[in-house]
Amino acid sequence: MSTEQQVEIQNLTLVQAVRDGLRGEMQRDEDVVVLGEDVGQNGGVFRATEGLYEEFGDDRVIDTPLAEAGIVGTAVGMAAYGMRPVPEIQFSGFMYPGFDQIVSHAARFRTRSRGRFTVPMVLRAPYGGGIRAPEHHSESKEAFYTHEAGLQVVVPSTPYDAKGLLAASIRDPDPVVFLEPKLIYRAFREEVPDDDYTVDLGEAAVRREGEDVSLFTWGAMTRPSLDAAEAVAEEGIDVEVVDLRTLSPMDVETIVESFKRTGRAVVVHEAPKTGGLAGEITATIQEEALYHQEAPIARVTGFDVPYPLYALEDYYMPEHARIEDAIRDTHDA
């Protein structure tokens, strides 16, 4: 063994890291195939599969007919047979024709067959708002999937995590809904090792340590949350920012541990408030750490209205001013 390990590093955006992760897993395991709409020669509408068609051919990077039930349903069949399909749904807003296959089958094959059949499938989809897109291209519906036992739900917020979480998801024996925050697909670069590596599912990351208020968030909301934390730091409020990364199974331990120290929490997500995961997180804190609580828990979320066309979307998305206000209110309560 050499004393000095050479690790090749590339500076990648989040979407490039997704592609790098797919490429690494496809090189590692011949059973990994990518299928979906425009994923082949076009390289995906966000270029998440760019170059894969040229490298792996049309048996492994497959342009399908325009049919999400077909994409997810055939991927379930492939996975049950033993392959590791990575279907792409072009936008999470177009998941619904395939929803039946996701909740009725992908989530249930293992239980239904007492373990005889599993579904090692990773269903990738860009999600979230803020890109000035037409209707159905901006929603955040992670709660649909976390509500379904039998599915794991992952949302990366950095290029490094995107590659490592994707690799871990593909190697996992059970289905993963992998939601990619498209607002930050190209927002910043990060050093990502060339070699393959995994980031474990089910583990949150503390992005900023703090003692006064715990802020729980994920995906594209991580950056504005960190910005808000820096802004209030100047006023002497020390915020801990926890990026959940995996929404199901949720890292309850990290959430509760952080809350027990601060006694105050803000939860930030793009999804509408009602039925959103902030409610679940709040209830979990009540169950596990009520007697540590110093102030009402604040939720900074999208509104309970259909996601607006883009002229109004800046009012819909939580931004750091709203997050800052919630932190101050929680801190001062």
Partner 1 sequence: MSTLQRDPRDRVQVLDDDGRVVDGAEVPDLDDDDLVEMYRSMRLARHFDERAVSLQRQGRMGTYPPLSGQEGAQIGSAAALGESDWMVPSYREHGAAYVRGLELHETLRYWMGDERGNSLEDLRIFPVAVPIASQIPHATGAAWAADLRGNDDEAFVCYFGDGATSEGDFHEGLNFAGVFDTPTVFFCNNNQWAISVPRERQTASETLSQKAHAYGFEGVQVDGMDPLAVYKVTREALQKAKNPAAADEASGRATRPTLIEAVQYRFGAHTTADDPSVYRDEEEVERWKAKDPIPRLENYLPSTPRRRSSGPSPRRCSSTSTGTCPGGWPSSGSTSSGFGTATATRSY
Examine residue 37 and tell whether it contacts ligand TPP (CB under 6 A): yes
Does the annotation count 137 as an active-site position?
yes
Spatial contact of 63 and 39, defined as CB atoms under 8 Å apart:
yes
Instruction: Mark the segment that binds ligand TPP (CB under 6 A) among 46-54, 89-97, 125-133, 207-215.
Output: 89-97
Examine residue 235 and tell whether it contacts partner 1 (CB under 8 A): no
If contact means CB under 5 to 8 A according to the sort of partner, which of partner 1, ligand TPP, none does residue 108 touch? none
Cα 217 from Cα 247, distance rounded (Å): 10
| Nearer of residues 92 and 214 to ligand TPP, judged by Cβ | 92
Instruction: Mark the segment that binds ligand TPP (CB under 6 A) among 90-98, 118-126, 195-203, 317-325.
Output: 90-98
The footprint of partner 1 on this chain (CB under 8 A) covers a number of residues equal to 31
In the chain, the amino acid numbered 11 is: N
Binding mask 55-84 for ligand TPP (x = CB under 6 A): -----------x-x----------------
Examine residue 248 and tell whether it contacts ligand TPP (CB under 6 A): no
SS3 140: coil
Give a three-class secondary structure readout of 107-131. Answer: CCHHHHCCCCCCCCCEEEEEECCCC
With residue 74 as reference, give the H or E element that holds it.
helix 68-81
Cα 201 from Cα 98, distance rounded (Å): 24
SS3 168: helix
If contact means CB under 5 to 8 A according to the sort of partner, which of partner 1, ligand TPP, none does residue 312 touch? partner 1
If contact means CB under 5 to 8 A according to the sort of partner, which of ligand TPP, partner 1, none does residue 135 touch? partner 1
Examine residue 66 and tell whether it contacts partner 1 (CB under 8 A): yes
Give the residue, chosen from 74, 83, 96, 279, that forms a contact with partner 1 under the rule CB under 8 A: 96
Buried b (16+ CB within 10 A) or exposed e, 151-165: bbbbbbbbbbbbbbb
If contact means CB under 5 to 8 A according to the sort of partner, which of ligand TPP, partner 1, none does residue 150 touch? none
Cα 237 from Cα 259, distance rounded (Å): 15
| Nearer of residues 94 and 310 to ligand TPP, judged by Cβ | 94
What's the number of CA atoms in the CB half-sphere (13 Å) around residue 231?
A: 16
Give the shortest CB-45-to-ligand TPP separation in angstroms: 8
Tokens in use for 260?
Answer: 């027990």
Spatial contact of 148 and 102, defined as CB atoms under 8 Å apart:
yes
Cα 289 from Cα 284, distance rounded (Å): 8
Cα 254 from Cα 154, distance rounded (Å): 16
Binding mask 75-94 for partner 1 (x = CB under 8 A): ------------------xx
Residues 124-163 interacting with partner 1 (rule: CB under 8 A): 132-137
Strands 205-208 and 213-217: unpaired
Give the residue, chosen from 27, 28, 30, 41, that forms a contact with partner 1 under the rule CB under 8 A: 41
Cα 172 from Cα 246, distance rounded (Å): 13
Cα 78 from Cα 61, distance rounded (Å): 14
| Nearer of residues 66 and 333 to ligand TPP, judged by Cβ | 66
- Of 105, 137, 269, 320, which residue is the catalytic one? 137
Give the residue, chosen from 65, 116, 305, 332, that forms a contact with partner 1 under the rule CB under 8 A: 65
Angle in degrees, CA 272, 277, 282, rounded to 5:
115
| Nearer of residues 144 and 160 to ligand TPP, judged by Cβ | 144
Distance of CA 115 to the CA centre of its chain: 27
- Kindly list the residues in this chain that would bind partner 1 in the complex (CB under 8 A): 37-38, 40-43, 45, 63-70, 93-94, 96-97, 132-137, 308-313
**Active site amino acids:** 137
- Kindly list the residues in this chain that would bind ligand TPP in the complex (CB under 6 A): 37, 66, 68, 90, 94, 97
